[in-house]
Amino acid sequence: MTDRYAVLGNPIGHSKSPLIHSLFAQATGQDIGYTAIETPLDGFDETVLGFRAGGGRGLNVSLPFKLQAFQIATQPSERARLAGAANCLKFEGESILADNFDGVGLVNDLQRNLGCPIKGKRVLLLGAGGATRGAILPLAGQAPALLAVANRTADKAHELRRDFAGHAALQTGGYDDLTGQTFDIVINATSAGLSGDALPLPPGLFAPGAVAYDMVYGKGLTPFLRQARAAGVSTVADGVGMLVEQAAEAFAWWRGVRPETPPVIQQLTVPLA
């Protein structure tokens, strides 16, 4: 019997998740059906519970429902709890398990696919929203020399330092506070890649041999990646690898087998030009 899964979002027509999970299922011999469901903005809970009642086994959750996915869970993981958001649900009887694989996907893409170890590096996250929240624990778990968060509104960055106290040591502040500092890995977790806005980054931010990573995918060279290139950074990447890697974590959580990711990443990659 085919097991049913889906991704929820609004809008959702752009989602690559059905293709990704179809490729994973073919590669691993898993009998699953996977669809995209455009969910009414005021109908998330009803959609989740209806999908479960119809025999659904699990859900990926896209924007703008990641906070609600955490709230509906009866058993959230620790990283979902600290992030305050979930991007994956699993149904076991009456229980709704929730996890957040975004940060794990980021770490796996950096280290496995880009050959960029995090241990001992100076790492900077730009932005203080949900994407950053999901990335903090997985990045901190790799023992960077420094993990910093900078945001246009410094107070929002400082909130993260308080929220993650005891779990991750963070340097936080505004973009102006970055003046005179250099970083080995700089990750854009803001929406600037979608809006087309350049970030007010000080000169000299990128260390020699630095990696610049934008969580946005499929947009070519975003304004952030253009800034990095202009600063002499040769290794730039968008978030397509993160997308595929977090999907692989969800697939493994649901099915008990982890698919190979490089062939899928290669198929979905858009040249950065």
Question: Which residues constitute the domain of residue 214?
Answer: 103-238
The whole-model pTM stands at: 0.95
Q: What confidence tens digit (pLDDT) does each residue in 190-211 have?
A: 987 666 778 999 999 999 999 9
Cα 23 vs. chain centroid, distance in angstroms?
20
Mean pLDDT of 241-249: 98
The answer on 181 and 67 residing in a single domain is: no
User: Amino acid letter at 60?
Assistant: N
Return the HEC string of 234-251: CEEECCHHHHHHHHHHHH
Mean per-residue pLDDT of the chain:
96
Residue 101 structure tokens: 């694989």
Q: What is the pLDDT of residue 221?
A: 93
- For position 92, which CATH number holds? 3.40.50.10860
66 given a catalytic annotation: yes
- For position 198, which CATH number holds? 3.40.50.720
**Alpha-carbon separation of residue 182 from 89, 161, 166, 201, 207 (angstroms):** 38, 20, 25, 11, 5
Mean pLDDT of 224-252: 97
- In this structure, how many other beta carbons lie within 10 angstroms of the beta carbon of residue 262? 11
Does some domain include residue 159? yes
The answer on 13 and 65 residing in a single domain is: yes
The answer on 228 and 115 residing in a single domain is: yes
Pick the catalytic residue from 66, 90, 119, 219. 66
Q: Is the pLDDT of residue 270 over 80?
A: yes
Does some domain include residue 273? no
Does some domain include residue 76? yes
Q: What confidence tens digit (pLDDT) does each residue in 45-103 have?
A: 999 999 999 999 999 999 899 999 999 999 999 999 999 999 999 999 999 999 999 99
The answer on 108 and 96 residing in a single domain is: no
- Dist CA 180 CA 177 (whole Å): 8
